[in-house]
Amino acid sequence: MVGRAVPDAMWAAVLEGPGQRLQIERIRVPRPGPGEVLVKVAACGICHTDLHVIRGEVAFPTPAVIGHEVAGRVVEVGPGVDRVREGERVVASFIMPCGSCPACRRGRDDLCERFFRLNRLQGVLYDGATRLFREDGRPLAMYSMGGMAEYCVIPAHGVFALPESIPWRDAAIVGCAVFTGYGAVRRAADLRPGCQVAVVAAGGVGSVIVQLSRAFGAAAVIAVDVREDKLQAARRLGATATVNARQEDPVAAVRQMTHGAGVDVAFEVLGRAETFAQALSMVADGGRLVAVGIAPGDTAASVPITHVVRRGISIVGSYGARAGVDMPTILTLLAAGFIQPGAVVSEVVGLDAVPDAYERLAAGDITGRAVAVFES
Ligand SMILES: [Zn+2]
Ligand SMILES: [Zn+2]
- pLDDT digit string, tens, across residues 325-353: 999 999 999 999 889 888 889 899 999 99
Q: Strand, coil or helix: what is 325?
A: helix
Amino acid at 60: F
All residues at 6 or more sequence positions from 106 whose CB lies less than 8 Å from its CB, including other chains: none
Is 4 within a domain?
no
Helix (H) or strand (E) holding 52: helix 48-55
Q: What is the mean pLDDT of residues 76-89?
A: 95
| pLDDT above 70 coverage of the chain, percent | 99
Strand 263-268 vs strand 196-200: parallel, antiparallel, or unpaired? parallel
172 Cα–ligand 2 center, Å: 24
Mean pLDDT, the chain, integer: 95
Q: Are residues 345 and 312 in the same domain?
A: no
The number of CA neighbours under 13 Å toward the Cβ of 225 is: 26
Q: How far is the CA of 310 from the centre of ligand 1 (A)?
A: 35
Average pLDDT over residues 307-336: 96
Distance 50 CA to ligand 1 centre (A): 7
Question: Closest Cα to residue 225, out of 205, 200, 206, 257?
Answer: 200
Q: Residue 110 C-alpha to ligand 2 middle, in angstroms?
A: 8
Cα(51) to ligand 1 centroid in Å equals 9
Rounded distance from Cα 105 to ligand 2 centre (Å): 7
When computed from its CA atoms, the radius of gyration of the chain, rounded to whole angstroms, is: 20
Rounded-to-10 torsion of CA 352, 49, 144, 101:
-170
CATH number at residue 31: 3.90.180.10
In-domain check, residue 126? yes
Query: Is residue 51 located within the same domain as residue 170?
Result: yes
pLDDT, one tens digit per residue, over 113-128 is 999 999 999 999 999 9
Q: Let me know if residue 234 belongs to a domain.
A: yes
- Give the Å distances, CA to CA, from 285 to 256, 282, 310, 346, 372: 15, 10, 9, 37, 43
Ligand having the closest approach to the CA of 323: 2
In terms of domains, do 88 and 137 share one? yes
Is 163 found in the same domain as 19? yes
Between the CA of 45 and the centroid of ligand 2 the distance, in Å, is 24
- Residue 19 in any domain: the answer is yes
pTM: 0.94
Residues 37, 143, single domain; the answer is yes
> Mean pLDDT, to the nearest integer, of 192-198?
97
In a domain, 53, yes or no: yes
Ligand 2 midpoint to CA 113 (Å): 5
* 296, 266: one domain: yes
Position 376 pLDDT exceeds 80: no
On whether the CB atoms of residues 242 and 231 are closer than 8 A, the answer is yes
The alpha carbon of 42 and the centre of ligand 1 are apart by a number of angstroms equal to: 17
Q: Examine residue 107 and state whether it is found in any structural domain, yes or no.
A: yes
Q: 1: pLDDT confidence band, cut at 50, 70 and 90?
A: very low
Give the model's pLDDT for residue 21.
Answer: 97
Residues 173 and 197 in one domain: no
Q: What separation in Å is there between the alpha carbon of 126 and the centre of ligand 2?
A: 9
184 assigned to some structural domain: no
Which ligand has the nearest atom to the CA of 180? 1
Residue 224 and residue 266: Cα distance in Å, rounded? 10
Range of the domain at 213: 190-317
The answer to whether 177 and 343 have CB atoms below 8 angstroms apart is no
Do residues 307 and 212 share a domain?
yes
Domain boundary among 317, 333, 365: 317
User: What value does the mean pLDDT take over residues 216-237?
Assistant: 95
Whether residues 154 and 26 share a domain: the answer is: yes
Considering every ligand atom shown, identify the ligand nearest to the alpha carbon of residue 111 and give its number: 2
Contact yes or no for 47/69 (Cβ under 8 A): yes
Is residue 39 pLDDT above 60, yes or no?
A: yes
Nearest Cα to 152, choosing from 39, 14, 5, 64? 39
Residue 208 lies in a domain: yes
Ligand nearest to the CA of 51: 1
Coil, strand or helix: which one is 51? Answer: helix
Are 146 and 260 members of one domain?
Answer: no
**CATH code where residue 312 lies:** 3.40.50.720
The residues, ordered by sequence, that sit 6+ positions from 172 with a Cβ below 8 Å of its Cβ are 43, 44, 45, 69, 70, 71, 341, 345, 371, 372, 373
Q: Are 341 and 178 in contact (CB under 8 A)?
A: yes
8 Å CB contact between 220 and 284: no
Ligand 2 centroid – CA 180 distance (Å): 18
Q: Do 206 and 140 share a structural domain?
A: no
Q: Are residues 362 and 338 in the same domain?
A: yes
Hey, which bits of 47-108 come out as E strands? 64-65, 70-77, 89-92
From the CA of 113, the nearest ligand is: 2
> Separation of 221 CA from ligand 1 center, angstroms?
23
Q: Read off the pLDDT band of 298 (50, 70, 90).
A: confident
State the ligand closest to the CA atom of 157: 2
CA dist 147 and 30 (Å) reads 11
- The whole-number pLDDT of residue 203 equals 87
Q: What is the number of structural domains in the chain?
A: 2
Q: How many A from CA of 58 to the centre of ligand 2?
A: 22
- Which of 285, 283, 289 is CA-nearest to residue 267? 289
